[in-house]
Amino acid sequence: MLVVDDLHAGYGASEVLVGTSLTVKPGAVVALIGANGAGKTTTMRAVSGMLRPTRGRVTLDGREVQGLDASRIARLGLAHSPEGRKVFGPLSVEDNLLLGAYSRLPKFLGYKASARADLDRIYELFPRLKDRARQSAGTLSGGEQQMLAIGRALMAQPKVMLLDEPSMGLAPVIVQEVFRTIRRLKEEGITLLLVEQFAKSALEVADYAYVMERGRIAVEGTPEELGRNERVIAAYLG
Amino acid sequence: MNALIIGQMAVSGALMGLVYALIAYGFQLTYATSKSINFGQGELVMVSAFFCLTLTNLGLPYWLMVPGGLLFGALMGLIIERAGVRLALEQKSEGWILLSIIMGLFLFSAAENIWGRDDRPFPTPISADPIRVFGVDVTRLELSVAVGVFAIMGLIELFKRRTLLGKAFEAVSADRDAAELMGISATRTVMLSYALSGAVAALAGILVSPITTVGPTMASALILKAFSVAVVAGLDSGFGVVLIGMALGALESLASFYLGSGWREAPGLTLLILALAVRPTGVFGKAVIRKV
């Protein structure tokens, strides 16, 4: 579904990604783990078009998308829930969700009626968002904003979803809730690429995982295989 | 009697002030999506007014001329965005400031060459006969300014709050990168904001011309006041520009009546300096902390 091949990207003169390759199969949850600064977030940004790759290929559902605008890649079926959540603070929770489905909805009126079923599904998944539907997103707690960011990405009915550091800055109880949600998404068959600092929790939900070091993939395998790898255990699972 | 004169002055001044507010609102529209403004906005007001005068002279009735003028303004806004602003923004440069000034100068020279340097009357079917409201005389012409300003601002605000495209506009203002991830094209949203800003400038020209006449320099004073209003009110409050615009208009009119017409420009500049010294984000603006 998503194939990244020999991806190079960076900021100005400093190259962060030096030939990253990975594959996300349809319906799979793939975890991308590694130390801070290894290039996990940069990989996500280069895949979704927020950052233009300097070399390499990104194939989404059989179509090469590297070098396209982020908005174009989003319309082709990739939903990226970015690091730091980036909800639209001044807009209401419901407007944030509706904008998640922007490319599928009528642009002037009647968009809410067309999105009714999707909205209900998100509210069923995150009842707290329903209670706060009219509140502006900026007033939500960190955990609620993360739910909103995930919900907003789901509204797009994406072919592939990128989820970057969903547990960042959240209390342990909320982190558990985030992982419960991810497990639920997995049951629903969502294709997901997950970047996480909590390597252990990420490996518990993932079907397959990549370990990044200094801009490229160092080790890959199923969670069981990585769980037996001495180096991975020492560095990330200790 | 004295109170009545003050009231009279304040009301006519405030109605003129709405034109400053409308032009300032045009700045806010493009600033919201692109953090840039068109420094040639005054020239846009002026060429649109001339264009409308030509339409009228060609025999087009007023109510067809107005939408024609708005379309022309929108088109000019798009040209300025494409030919000037976008080039600079793509380079992450502040060159849009200079480019938009240059395009303004270009429009100014073009107007002088096409329509000449003289100020000309702008015909309108709206009567200038005064009507008495609570002892204060206002003309239908002055009232038409208020109606026009509130109508277009109301429509644009309704568009932003009620349509999905409008919400996308707000999303780009709030977080351009995140909006792109929703499939919203930031480039197109910026284009839309420049088109709207151009239409707003054209309407300002149409509304003010019957009162001030049309000429190449008609907007040079207007634009200065609109800048003051935008700075004092802040670049993100539509309500703020209306309030500050009306207050400034009223103050100017009172200053020129009581202190002499040479003092007309004093309140605007005083307000501008005060605002920059005391509250640079504007009275209604939100303080933005720039994270580096």
Optimal mutation site among A60, A102, A154, interface B, most CBs of chain B within 10 A: A102
Share of residues in chain B with pLDDT > 70 (%) = 97
Asked if the Cβ–Cβ distance from A50 to B170 is below 8 Å, we say: no
Asked if B182's CB is within 8 angstroms of A103's CB, the reply is yes
CB contacts, 8 Å: A88 with chain B: 170-171, 174-175, 178-179
Chain B residue with minimal CA distance to A149? Answer: B178
Tell me: pLDDT of B289 over 70: no
Query: What angle separates helix A142-155 from helix A172-187, to the nearest 10 degrees?
Result: 20
pLDDT above 50 (res A219):
yes
The domains of chain A are located at 2-237
The CATH code for residues A2-237 is 3.40.50.300
Mean predicted confidence (pLDDT) in A203-219: 94
The label of the residue with tokens 């003050």 reads: B6
Confidence category of residue A114, pLDDT binned at 50, 70, 90: very high
The residue type found at B38 is: N
pLDDT confidence of residue B221: 85
Q: What does the pLDDT read at residue A16?
A: 94
A92 touches chain B (CB under 8 A): no
Distance CA B237, CA B285 (A): 7
pLDDT the model gives residue B174: 95
Residue A227 or A30, more confident: A30
Task: Give the pLDDT confidence score for residue B122 in this predicted structure.
Answer: 94
Please name the residue ranges forming H helices in chain A.
40-48, 70-75, 93-100, 111-114, 116-125, 127-131, 142-155, 172-187, 199-205, 223-228, 230-232
Residue B287's pLDDT is 57
Measure the CA–CA gap between B36 and B173, rounded to whole angstroms.
12
pLDDT in tens, B7-22: 888 999 999 999 999 9
Q: At what angle do helices B238-258 and B2-34 cross, to 10 degrees?
A: 140
The span from the CA of A216 to the CA of A232, in Å, is 15
- The percentage of chain A sitting over the pLDDT mark of 70, rounded to a whole number, equals 100
Cβ–Cβ below 8 Å for B174 and A95: no
Shortest distance between the Cα of B218 and any Cα of chain A, in A, equals 37
Span A156-170, average pLDDT: 95
| A21-30, A115-124, B229-238: the lowest-pLDDT one | B229-238
Pairwise pLDDT comparison (A210 vs B291), residue with the higher score: A210
End-to-end CA separation in angstroms for chain A: 32
Length of chain B in terms of residues written: 292
ipTM of the complex: 0.93
For residue A208, the SS3 value is strand
pTM score of the predicted model = 0.92
Q: Residue A238: pLDDT band by 50, 70, 90 thresholds?
A: low
Q: How far apart are CA B215 and CA B219, in angstroms?
A: 8
Q: What is the mean pLDDT of residues B99-109?
A: 94
Residue A16 distance to chain B (closest CA, Å): 20
Q: Are B196 and B203 in contact (CB under 8 A)?
A: no
Query: Which pLDDT value is given to residue A137?
Result: 96
- CA dist B220 and B201 (Å) reads 13
A117 pLDDT more than 90: yes
A142 inside 8 A of chain B by CB = no
Closest listed residue to residue B45, CA positions, set B227, B179, B181, B173: B227
**pLDDT value of position A36:** 87
Q: Give the pLDDT band of residue B218 (cuts 50, 70, 90).
A: very high
Q: Do A86 and B177 touch (CB under 8 A)?
A: yes
Beta bridge partners of A9: A17
Q: Let me know: does A20 contact A216? Beta carbons within 8 Å.
A: yes
Q: Tell me whether residue B279 is exposed, middle or buried, using C-beta atoms within 10 angstroms of its C-beta: 0 to 12, 13 to 18, 19 or more.
A: middle
Contact A86 B164 (CB under 8 A): no
What is the per-residue pLDDT for B292? Answer: 41
DSSP line for A86-110? ---TTSBHHHHHHHHTGGGS-SSSS
| Residue A48 binned pLDDT confidence (cut-offs 50, 70, 90) | very high
CB B127 within 8 A of CB B141: yes
Q: Output the pLDDT for position B236.
A: 84
The yes-or-no verdict on residue B291 having pLDDT over 70 is no
Torsion of CA A88, A89, A90, A93, to 10 degrees: 70
- Confidence class of residue A149 from pLDDT cuts 50, 70 and 90? very high
Is the model's pLDDT at B199 over the cut of 90?
yes
